Amino acid sequence: MRWEVWLAYFAACWVIAVSPGSGAVLSMSHGLSYGLRKTTTTIFGLQTGLVIVLLVAGGGLGALLLASEQAFMVVKTVGALYLIYLGLQQWRAKVQSSEGASEGPARVAVMSPRRRFATGLLTNVTNPKGIIFMVAVLPQFIDPNHPLAPQLAILALTMCCVDLVVMHGYALLASRMQGLFRNARAVRWQNRFFGSVLMAVGAALFFVRRQHA
């Protein structure tokens, strides 16, 4: 891969990562609820999902998926319903006050590391917008005259490194606000806000259209 091609891709990765999406919402939500350290597991799940989508798109399966109306509808529906499910779960999450009152310090049940990782992974894997983007953008940075595998490895590593920094940035900013959400009432409103955002992002996926040849 030529140096100037990689630099262009590197710049594109920053634009993509910083753009608000379901991964950013999830990172902020978990950062605010659990703190930066625990959210790292969620972010690793997001990166695993990102690599899977990139390999699927780069390997040509993404183009085949977009060519099939039925297959694309399945992925889109599953992704939308999953985000709506996550949002609903967060909206309904139980918050207990250690003093038994709505104004007392809040105790938030923390997801297990395995569940946080799985949540991040599924959030990216089931996102049809990610598949559309990868299929549309990746070919511009792949040289057909050179082996595909090393190029995909470079592209995946670059994107994950950038996304790791950005998602941790979102989580860090959110975690710094934990002091404002110490009582049970504030935590409930926080859960309802992020739950609503996740459900809105999920609902918006129903309007995503596949690319036509």
Q: What is the pLDDT of residue 109?
A: 62
Q: What is the pLDDT of residue 81?
A: 83
CB 172 within 8 A of CB 93: no
Burial of residue 59 (number of CB atoms within 10 Å: 0-12, 13-18, 19+):
middle
Of residues 80 and 157, which shows the higher confidence score?
157
Which pair of tokens denotes residue 100?
A: 């038994």
| Helix spans in 20-68 (H) | 22-34, 36-58, 61-67
pTM of the model: 0.75
Which pair of tokens denotes residue 13?
A: 């990765």
Query: pLDDT tens across 164-210, in order?
Result: 999 999 999 888 876 665 666 766 777 777 778 778 877 876 776 65
Overall size of the chain counted in residues: 213
Query: pLDDT tens across 63-97, in order?
Result: 566 566 777 777 778 777 877 887 787 777 766 55
Amino acid at position 40, single letter: T
Would you give the end-to-end CA distance of the chain in angstroms? 27
Which residues, including other chains, have CB under 8 Å from residue 33's CB and lie 6 or more apart? 108, 110, 187, 190, 191
